[in-house]
Each structure stands twice: as C-alpha cells, then as structure tokens.
Amino acid sequence: MTTTKTCSEIGDFLSEYATWLWGCGATCIRLEKNVRRMAQTLGVEIDMGIMPTHIYATVWRHDRSDCYTVVRAMHKSAISFDVNTQLSKLSWDLADGRCDFEQARRMFEHIKQTPSANPWLVLLLASVANASFCRLFGGDAVAMLLVFVSTLCGFRVKQMMLADKVDVRIVFACSSFFSAVISAGGHLFSWGSTPEIALASSVLYLIPGIPYINSVSDMLDGHYICAYSRLMDGIVLTACLSLGLCCGLVVMSMKII
C-alpha cells in the first residue's frame, strides 16, 4: 500500500508513534521493526537514530522527490503492556492492509487516550503476587500475610506519590521504607517461622525488572547508549530501593548485617 501523503505528515506520525512505543516500555529492536514495517507499507524509506531522550528520524521517497527530518522528545509515561500491544497491533493492521494511513492516525489517537488500569485492582494484584513470591521462596502463611500487608501499604504509598508527581527515586525509597518497617514486625514479635523471608520479599515489587531486561535486549541489538541508559535507570532505582530498606531496618533497630 502506498500513500499520497507528504513525507512530513508520515514522518510526524511515525516519529510520534516511536516515542509512545518507547515510553510504554518497548525495546529498540521492536521500535525499529514496527516503524520500518509501517514506513515500507506507506511507500517511504526511514532512517532513525534512537537516543534515551529523543528520536531522530529522516523520511524520504524512493525517488528522492520529497524528504523530511524530525527530532522528537521521547514520551514519558508509565510502562504499559496494554498500550505496547495496541501499538504493535496497529503496525500490523497498517502493514496487512486492514487500515489506511488516515485510519491508522485515528487509531493512534484513540490508543493515546487508553485509560490506566484500575489502581485498586493493580494494588490488590501486586500484593497477591508479592505474597506468592514469598511462598515461592519458602515463606510460611504468616510470612505471606506480612508480605501482603507490607506490599499493600508500600504500593499504595507509591501510587499516591506518583500521582503527586514526586520524583520516582524518592518514591522508590519511601515505598521500600514503609514495606520494610511493616514486614520487620515478623522479626520483632516472632511471628511465624520464616520472618526473614517475609522481610526480604516485602520489597520485591519494586525491582525494576523491565529496565534491566530492555537494557540487555538493546545491548544485544547494538543500541549501546540506550542500553547503558536503561541499565543505569535500573541501578539507580535499585539503589533507592536498598536505601529505603536499610533505613527501615535502622528505624526498627534491626542489624543490617
């Protein structure tokens, strides 16, 4: 499928699409494949440079009759597998001829309006999942209950602070602190037979797994700057998590080592 749209229109659409795909947690290789798939369908060539904060894209016709270059800042948002999936589906819908360029742009605008998941449902499921991790590591029923409650409180603190636009590093430290203080009750009051597992599992919901995974994927694909950026993001958040945990142990008069 080809289009009579100008390179500027196509370039603006593809570059904004790429920034949203990055923002919702996609790897560089997925971003490149999706964008190139759509560019080929629209009858243009595209060359992209992906950086941690910006994307640089040049779009041109095969006969060099039209060319357009755009620099766009990466869209900053919470990681969303829902939006990620919808955006990937959009690229295939366009490539397979199930929609034209104008329909794709309308679908993209609709995807951008996708509401966030119910925060109370996310809170409940995250708490249940973390309690399940506790059980997986050998925790007893009491430890699982402690992890559930500590995750419930810590994750709620995270949700409220993020809603107030607090720096994410401070959010991780505070959430870890609250979870550690609550789960430390197992040690202080001798609840259950595995209080140490409850304490160790109480902050697992804060582990930034996606930045670590994406950094490895980007490194293997040769996007070393993006890989380093995502790796450092993960390391910094992990350090903040550890700081909150250590402060919680100190406040509860527990030995760190």
The answer to whether residue 197 is domain-embedded is yes
Check residue 255 and give its pLDDT.
Answer: 65
Same structural domain, 94 and 40:
yes
Question: What one-character DSSP code corresponds to residue 206?
Answer: G
Q: Is the pLDDT of residue 1 over 60?
A: no
Check residue 235 and give its pLDDT.
Answer: 96
**What pLDDT digit, counting tens, does each position of 89-114 carry?**
999 999 998 999 999 999 999 999 98
Contacts of 49 (CB under 8 A, 6+ apart): 55, 56, 57
- In the three-class reduction of DSSP (H, G, I as helix; E, B as strand; rest coil), residue 5 is classed as coil
Same structural domain, 98 and 28:
yes
Same structural domain, 130 and 236:
yes
Check residue 4 and give its pLDDT.
Answer: 67
Same structural domain, 245 and 158:
yes
Give, rounded to a whole angstrom, the gap between the first and last alpha carbons of the chain.
64
**What pLDDT digit, counting tens, does each position of 167-203 carry?**
999 999 999 999 999 998 887 878 878 888 998 899 9
Same structural domain, 18 and 80:
yes
Other beta carbons within 10 angstroms of residue 234's beta carbon come to: 19
Check residue 252 and give its pLDDT.
Answer: 84
Same structural domain, 26 and 150:
no
Tracing tokens 């603006």 back to the chain, one arrives at: 12
Same structural domain, 149 and 239:
yes
Task: Please answer whether residues 79 and 210 qualify as being in contact, where contact means their C-beta atoms are separated by less than 8 angstroms.
Answer: yes
Same structural domain, 104 and 137:
no
Check residue 141 and give its pLDDT.
Answer: 92
The answer to whether residue 2 is domain-embedded is no
Count the domains in the chain.
Answer: 2
Same structural domain, 25 and 60:
yes
Same structural domain, 34 and 103:
yes
Same structural domain, 50 and 134:
no
Q: Which of 81, 112, 143 corresponds to the end of one domain? A: 112
**183/196 Cα distance (integer angstroms):** 9
**Overall average pLDDT of the 209-231 stretch:** 93
Task: Please answer whether residues 143 and 201 qualify as being in contact, where contact means their C-beta atoms are separated by less than 8 angstroms.
Answer: yes
Task: Please answer whether residues 97 and 42 qualify as being in contact, where contact means their C-beta atoms are separated by less than 8 angstroms.
Answer: no
User: pLDDT confidence of 77, banded at 50, 70, 90?
Assistant: confident
The answer to whether residue 219 is domain-embedded is yes
Task: Please answer whether residues 139 and 173 qualify as being in contact, where contact means their C-beta atoms are separated by less than 8 angstroms.
Answer: no
State the residue range of the domain holding 83: 7-112
The answer to whether residue 101 is domain-embedded is yes
- What does pTM read for this prediction? 0.86
* Sheet arrangement for strand 67-73: 44-50, 54-61, 67-73
Same structural domain, 169 and 94:
no
